[in-house]
Chains A and B, each alone.
Chain A
Amino acid sequence: MNIIVCLKQVPGTTEVKIDPTSNTLVRQGIKSVVNPLDSYALEEGVRLKEHYGGKVIAITMGPPQATEILRDAISTGADDTILLSDIAFAGSDTLATSTTLAKAIEKINKYDLVICGRQTLDGDTGQVGPELAEMLGLPFIAYVSKIETIADGKIKVQRMVEDGYETIEAALPAVITVVKEINVPRLPSLRGLTRAKSAQIPTWTAQEIGTEKGTVGQAGSATWVVKVFYPQRVQTAEMLKGDPEAQVETLIEKLKEAKII
Chain B
Amino acid sequence: MGISVDKEKCTGCGNCVSTCLFGLIDIVDEKARIKEAGCTLCGACRDACAFEAIRIEKEIAEVLVGDEHRGVWVFTEQRNGEIKNVSYELLSKGRELADTLKTELCAVCLGYNIKDIGQLTAYGADKIYLVDDPSFANQSEDPYVTELVRLIKQHKPEIVLAGATPFGRSFFPRVAAILKTGLTADCTGLDIDTEKRLLRQTRPTFGGNVMATIICPAKRPQMSTVRPRVFKKNQPDPARKSQLIKVDFNKESISSKTRLLNFVADLTEKVKLEDADIIVAGGRGLGKPENFQLIRDLASALGAAVGSSRPPVDEGWIPYSHQVGQTGKTVCPKLYIAVGISGAVQHLAGMQTADCIIAINDDPNAPIFQVANYGIVGDLFKVVPLLTEKLKTV
Contacts and interface: CB of A to CB of B under 8 A. Distances in A.
Whether chains A and B associate is yes
Interface of A: 11, 13, 16-18, 24-27, 29-30, 62-65, 85-87, 89-95, 98, 121-127, 129-135, 138-143, 156, 160-171, 174, 213-215, 217-231, 233-240, 244-245, 247-249, 251-252, 254-256, 258, 260-261
The 4 A-B residue pairs with the shortest CB-CB distance, nearest first, are A222-B182, A30-B23, A214-B61, A237-B375
A226 B43 contact: yes
Interface majority SS (helix, strand, loop, mixed), chain B: mixed
Contact of A228 (B169, B212, B382): B212
Given A24-B18, A131-B173, A162-B167, A221 B182 contact: yes
B350 to A, nearest CB: 14
A142 B35 CA distance: 34
Given A227-B212, A240-B375, 8 more contacts: A25-B44, A62-B37, A162-B166, A168-B258, A225-B40, A231-B204, A233-B370, A236-B369
Contacts of B218: 222
A261 B139 contact: no
A225 B212 contact: yes
B186 interface: yes
A91 to B, nearest CB: 4
A139 B145 CA distance: 12
B358 A251 contact: yes
B370 A234 contact: yes
B213 A162 contact: no
Contacts of A134: 145, 173-174, 177-178
Interface residues of B, number: 105
Contacts of A174: 257
A182 to B, nearest CB: 14
A125 B165 contact: no
Contact of B263 (A94, A164, A240): A164
Interface string B30-69: 0000011111111110011000000000111110000000
A261 to B, nearest CB: 6
Interface stretch (B154-162, B244-252, B385-393): B385-393
B302 A261 contact: yes
B28 interface: no
A254 B364 CA distance: 20
A24 B206 contact: no
A163 B383 contact: no
Contact of B383 (A218, A235, A247): A247
B239 interface: no
Contact of B213 (A62, A122, A126, A227): A227
B394 A223 contact: no
B58 A218 contact: yes
Which of B20, B176, B265 has the most CB atoms of chain A within a 10 A radius of its CB? B176
Given A90-B2, A261-B391, A171 B386 contact: no
Contacts of B141: 140
B298 to A, nearest CB: 11
Nearest to A64: B37
